A and B are shown apart, each in its own frame.
Chain A
Amino acid sequence: MINFGYTSNKDRQIVFDENDRSVYQILQSKEPSVDICIQCGTCSSTCTTGQFTQFSLRQIIVNIHRGEMDFINEDIRKCMFCGKCQLVCPRSVNTRNIIQVLITILN
């Protein structure tokens, strides 16, 4: 490749039809309550891990649905399974099991 002395940024766009969205499908079959998430962010605001790192269960759920898998594998391992997210979730999503299932899928 010829070096023109500059680079271009990676496309940030979510190209829904080209993304591999299979992880969400497996997650959905193993933990159906993921579908009723309303993306309110109560889980991520109460999360101790999120206070000190970029970890956000809300964003993990939305990104996996879209097939945006960058950093997901690292992020899910930051969860300490304290379960506060599950206590506060207004829709009673089984949040801890979502992380547990994701770890199993991605291992």
Chain B
Amino acid sequence: MTRESQTIAVIGGGPAGLEASAKLTGLGYNVFILEKNTEVGGHLLDWDRLFPDQQNASEVLDAIKAGLNENTQILTGAEVVEISENHRFDIKLAGSPQKITADAILVATGFDVFDARKKEEYGYGIYDHVITSAELETYFKNKKEILKRNGSPVKRIAFIHCVGSRDEKAGVRHCSRVCCVTAVKQAIEVKELYPDVEVYLFYMDLRMFGLGYEELYKEAQEIYNIRFIRGRLSESFENQDGTIMVKVEDTLAGKPMRINVDLMVLMVGILASSGTSEMGSKMGIGINSNGFLKPVNSHFSSQISNRAGVFLAGTCKSPKNIEETLSDARAAAVLIDNYLKAKIT
């Protein structure tokens, strides 16, 4: 058997699935990308620019897709209903008589953002002027003006960190990692568009873990006059004029604080996607207590699942930025190659 005679099914056509597919097809394998949405690209499709260097998300997506060759078959609208194993994997898709037969499977089913309605006290879906970070990104992408409902300009915006992260009341214990720097990036983008808008970020900790992130934070303070207030939002109320009263403890001043804002942006956290949970339970892959898929060893085998022939890549395992997701996908491709090579000989 040669690489050319072997097939890998990649479940999920986001950045991780696409990058791994590009590397695997580059090695000579045949790859089926099974994407349940109508288009591949995952969350990158909804994003305008990326931290920390403001690169266009579409450029990154194009660069990843450019790596795919004719050995790749992309099936969109493809929902996996059943996976059976008889030396090879047989994958049944919803509403299709076609069965995909594969020698290995890569799960790259990604994340969903936290449903902000669960934090009812933040007023998402109740008050007029509360949006999520994902929605703000579509404003940037579609060049939609940031205005109040009545069409008047927004004068003050609050970004609320850790919405659905580090919050056991919301059932989420983990840190979603990338929201801190996303808030800083988005705050800067708002100031670039509307220099007179006052921007406040309410945070518990600022976790600027990547190279260039801390620098971006300083730039936000120094050049854009963005203010960071340490305190977690406890509750918010809608005033009669549609503005929102935000209540936090200003923990660095040691006093309770209230401030009115025209718009609240909720930095929604990263959770294992519904597809990730579904694939995990369908294939009997270990799921950790945060709902993400669990590799056999998170240090030295972090792309290998507990089921032989099934590999894991990207944010189905934990919150990651694009760089980490792509590196992880490449690592998964190498490990799949090692696994299949052992089968060949």
Contacts and interface: CB of A to CB of B under 8 A. Distances in A.
> Interface residue tally of chain A, by bracket?
10 to 19
B256 A62 contact: no
Nearest to A28: B225
> Interface residue tally of chain B, by bracket?
10 to 19
B230 A16 contact: no
Contacts of B225: 35
Contacts of A39: 230, 252
A68 B255 contact: yes
Given A62-B250, A65-B227, A13 B255 contact: yes
A39 B228 CA distance: 10
Contacts of B255: 12-14, 68
Contacts of B257: 13-14, 16, 66
A14 B250 contact: yes
A32 to B, nearest CB: 8
Given A62-B250, A62-B252, A68-B253, A14 B258 contact: yes
B306 interface: no
Nearest to A91: B218
B73 interface: no
A59 B259 contact: no
A36 B253 contact: no
Nearest to B248: A14
A74 interface: no
Contacts of B62: none
Given A13-B257, A35-B225, A62-B250, 10 more contacts: A13-B258, A14-B250, A14-B255, A14-B257, A16-B257, A16-B258, A36-B221, A59-B254, A66-B253, A68-B253
Interface of B: 218, 221-222, 225, 227, 230, 250, 252-260
Interface of A: 12-17, 32, 35-36, 39, 58-59, 62-63, 65-66, 68, 91
23 contacts: A12-B255, A13-B257, A13-B258, A14-B250, A14-B257, A14-B258, A15-B258, A16-B257, A16-B258, A16-B259, A17-B260, A32-B222, A35-B225, A58-B252, A59-B252, A59-B253, A62-B250, A62-B252, A63-B253, A66-B253, A68-B253, A68-B255, A91-B218
